[in-house]
Amino acid sequence: MPLRNMFFLQTIPADIWITIFECIEEPAHLAHVVLVCSKFKLLATKILLKNLVWTKDEPTRRNLADWDSLHSDLRCLPRRLKLGVSFEGITISGIEPVQLTALNALYNDVVQQISKFSMLEELVFSRTIISPVIYQLIASLPKLRILDFSSCTFLNQDPHGLVALPETEHTSNITHLVLQNNTPPRDQTGGDISDHPLHRLVGHSLRSLSITWSPTSSLLFGTQRWRLPRLAELCLHVTLLTRDLMDSAVEFVNNCTAGPDVFLRVNKHNIPDNQISSTNVPMPGLKSFWGPLPVVGMFAGASSEVEHVTVTESLEITHLLAGLERLSRNIRTLDLQLRKYDNEVLFAVRQLFPCIESVSVKFGKGNLPENIMVMLGSDILPDLKLLRSLRLAMDVNCIPPQPPADYNAYFLMHALNQPAPEEENIGPGDATSTLFDPADLKDYLVGWNRYCPMLRTVQLTSVAVWHRRFEGDPWIEKTIEPAPSTRNTSSRQNIRRSSDLMIT
C-alpha cells in the first residue's frame, strides 16, 4: 500500500509532523526522513538546518556550497554547529604561497560562513585547529551563548589566505564555556599566554565553566588571578594531580566569588601516601567527585558539601573504610569498588551516611553471604530511610592487574608487598546469581518497604536488577549484561614505567 494511503499524509497537520521530526535527535536519521517525500523534505529541512555537523572535508565543502545557493535565504536557521574538520596539513608559517592549498581555502570558507549564522546559539570545536581569527568570529555572533573547545590544537597565528572578518561592536556574552583536553601552541612561552581561551573569553556573563586543569591553566591563573563573579557551576578535570595543581585549583575556586557548585574529576595523582593522610585542602562548593578515594578526602573533609562520590579504583576493605571516614556526612550517592567483598562496607555506609540515597558496591572477588537479605532487612536498611538505589554486584574489573616482569624494581617490590591474589574461578556471572530464589527475593523487597519506602532499584547479582516506579508498585526483574572484562588488557597499558615521558 502506498505511503500516502497508509498514513494519509495530506490530512495530518504539518505541525504534527514537525513535532515528530523535532524528536529525532540524530541529524543523520533526519536526513533520511527528508528523502521520503516532498512534503517531508519541506517540513524537515528547516529542522535539519538548525543543527549542523561539519567533521569531514568533502561533505563540509558540499554543505558550504549549498549555503551559497540552495540555502542562502535560510542562514537565520542554524542554532548549533559542531566543527570537527582536522585541517591536518594546512599551511601556517613561512611565505604565503601564490596558490592556496585546498585546506586553507576550506578553513577560510568555514570561518566566513559561520560568521553569517547570526542566530547561532551554540558552537562546538572538536579535534580541529583554533587560530586567533576564531575569537573575532565568536565576537561577531551576537546570540552565541555556549562555546565548546574539546581536543583542539591552538595556534598563535592564522593560516594563510584568511579574509578579514568585518569589524563588529558586539562583545562576547558566553554563558557556558568548555575547555577540555586542548593542546596549547608549541611555541608558547611561560609568559606569553594572551591567546589562551580562558584569557580571551572569561567575562562577567560566564555562568558555567568546564576546564581541564593543567600546568598551563595553573600558570595562566597565577598571572591573571581572574575573579568570576557570576559563575554558578565549575567542572574541573585533572589528568594528573600534583600538589601544585591542588593548591592552584583551590585558589581558583576561591576566586569565584558567587560560590559555584564544583564538580571535580581526577584521573591519577602522584602524591605520596604519607602526605595524603595528613593533607587537608578544603575546596569550597565541592558537590561531586570522580576519581581515587584517597584524593577526595584531601578536598572534602567531614564539614564539606560534597554529595556525590564515584570511586574509580578498587581498594582493600581497610583502605576503603579509612577513606570513607574522611568524607562528609552529607553524601547522597556513593559508587565504590572493592577488591574482595566484605559486609563491613555496608555497616560503614549505614553508620557514616544516614542520609544516603544511592549506594553501589562493585567487588572483584568473594560473594555476598547467604544471609545477606536478612542482614539488610535487620541491620542496614532500617537506618537508611532515604535510600532509593542499592546495588551490590561482582565486577571482575575490580581485580587490579599484575605488573609486568620487567617493571621498575621499586614499584615491583611495592607490588610484591601486597597480599597475594587468591586463585578463584571467575565466570561470566557470579555465585550470588544463584543464591536467591526470585520469589523469595521479591518477598523480601516487599517487606523492605516498611524501612525504605523510597527504594526503587535493587541489584544483588551481576545479571539481574529489580525496579519499581512508585511506592506500592510491583517489583519487576530485568536482565542486564555483565560489565565487559578488561583484565586481558596488557598490564603495560595500566602501569606507567618510571622512564615514560609524561606530557600534560
Which has more confidence, 363 or 45? 363
pLDDT at residue 404, rounded to an integer: 60
- With a cut of 90, say whether residue 417 has pLDDT above it: no
Mean pLDDT of the 99-125 span = 92
| pLDDT at 484 exceeding the cut of 70 | no
pLDDT in tens, 133-191: 999 999 999 999 999 999 999 998 899 888 888 877 666 789 999 999 988 876 554 44
Q: Is the pLDDT of residue 421 over 50?
A: no
Using one digit for the tens of pLDDT, what is the confidence trace for 214-244? 888 888 887 777 778 899 999 999 999 998 9
* pLDDT at residue 458, rounded to an integer: 95
- Report how far apart the first and last C-alpha atoms of the chain are (Å, whole number): 61
Residue 209 has pLDDT above 90, yes or no: yes
Look at residue 504 and tell me whether its pLDDT is greater than 70: no
**pLDDT beyond 50 at 489:** no
pLDDT at 403: 61
Check residue 264 and give its pLDDT. 96
Residue 126 φ/ψ, nearest 5 degrees: -135, 125
Q: What number is the average pLDDT over the span 105-125?
A: 95
Would you say residue 44 has pLDDT above 90? no
415: which residues sit within 8 A by CB, 6+ positions away? 402, 403, 407
Q: Which three cell numbers stand for residue 80?
A: 548549533
Mean pLDDT of 378-391: 95
State whether the Cα torsion 349-353-357-360 is positive or negative.
negative
Count of residues in the chain: 504
User: Residue 183 is placed in which grid cell?
Assistant: 593542546
When pLDDT is averaged across residues 458-464 and rounded to a whole number, the result is: 90
Which of 242, 347, 249, 259 lies closest to 305 in space, CA to CA? Answer: 259
Res 303: pLDDT: 67
pTM of the model: 0.81
Provide mean pLDDT across the span 326-330. Answer: 88
pLDDT score for 357: 97
Of all residues in the chain, what percent carry a pLDDT higher than 90? 45
Alpha carbon distance 74, 247 (integer Å)? 50
**What residue type is 244 in one-letter code?**
D
Cα dihedral sign, 238-243-246-247: negative
Q: What is the pLDDT of residue 490?
A: 42
Q: Report residue 339's pLDDT band, with 50, 70 and 90 as the boundaries.
A: very high
More confident residue, 494 or 459: 459
> Which residue's C-alpha cell is 569531514?
56
pLDDT at residue 260 tops 70 = yes
Range in 35-44, 78-87, 200-209, 439-448 with the lowest mean pLDDT: 35-44
Whether the CB-CB separation of 248 and 219 falls below 8 Å is answered with no
- Which residue type does 143 have? K
pLDDT in tens, 353-382: 999 999 999 999 999 998 899 999 999 999
Higher pLDDT, 87 or 15: 87
Band of residue 492 on the pLDDT scale cut at 50, 70, 90: very low
pLDDT digits (tens, 9 = 90+) for 11-30: 777 777 777 777 777 777 77
Distance from C-alpha of 388 to C-alpha of 359, rounded to nearest angstrom? 9
Residue 145 · residue 174 · CB < 8 Å: yes
Residue that is written with C-alpha cell 584517597 in the block: 294
Looking at every residue in the chain, the average pLDDT score rounds to 82
Q: Which residues lie closer than 8 Å to 498 by C-beta, 6 or more apart?
A: 408, 410, 411
pLDDT-based confidence at residue 498 (cuts at 50, 70, 90): very low
More confident residue, 190 or 483: 483
pLDDT class for 95, splitting at 50, 70, 90?
A: low
Question: How many of the other CB atoms lie within 10 Å of CB of 84?
Answer: 17
Residue 382: the pLDDT is: 94
Closest CA to 296 of 261, 260, 258, 334: 334
pLDDT of amino acid 426: 45
Number of neighbouring beta carbons within 10 Å of residue 371: 10
pLDDT at 16: 77
Q: Is the pLDDT of residue 305 over 60?
A: yes
